[in-house]
Amino acid sequence: MHPLARFFLVFLIAGFMLAAFPGCSDSKESNSQLAMSGKPQAGQAASGGGKVQWVALETAMESAKEQDKLLFINFYTDWCGYCKKLDAQTLADKTVADALNNHFLSAKINGDNNRSLAAQYRVRGFPTLVFARHDGRPVFVIPGFVDEKYFLEALKFVHSGAYGQMGFEDFVRQGLGRQYDFSK
């Protein structure tokens, strides 16, 4: 193929990709640059009124044991459109943010800046949402974007301890989330 034709073809493909996937740009507009050893970061104001309180992973792991809470680890990247949508929609929901703040310790990890940690948790795409014990051992993983309804079901599944007795699909199919109360 002629070099000029090859350049034109690559240019067309790149243009198509940018048009088809506008959320996956290389912009650095994320408010959450929290690295594994970063300082705790206040939650982000959101349209739904929710504000997740993010802390450094080490702090979350230490506090989780003392407070008898599970960890919520959000692996994201700055260029990921679905990560931004997760922040703006799912995690911005007041019910979701309140449940996370009251019953979990949450850490937000940039997968590009913490590749070895992302590899340790077998992150294959972004966002990846990990629920883990205080020692970091995962109990439930959600690969990709989910809306607030699905995420609340997942929170109930993990918080109830049902992950030790059944799969998430059985939990949902049996309607156990509908009767679950976070105050227990």
Residue 140 has which token pair? Answer: 């439930």
| Of the candidate ranges 5-14, 76-85, 103-112, 156-165, the one whose mean pLDDT is the lowest | 5-14
Q: Determine the Cα–Cα distance for residues 145 and 127; give it in Å rounded to an integer.
A: 6
Residues 20-71 have pLDDT tens digits of: 333 333 333 333 333 333 333 333 333 345 799 999 999 999 999 999 999 9
pLDDT at 3: 58
The pTM assigned to this predicted structure is 0.74
pLDDT at 33: 35
pLDDT at 130: 98
CATH node for 34-173: 3.40.30.10
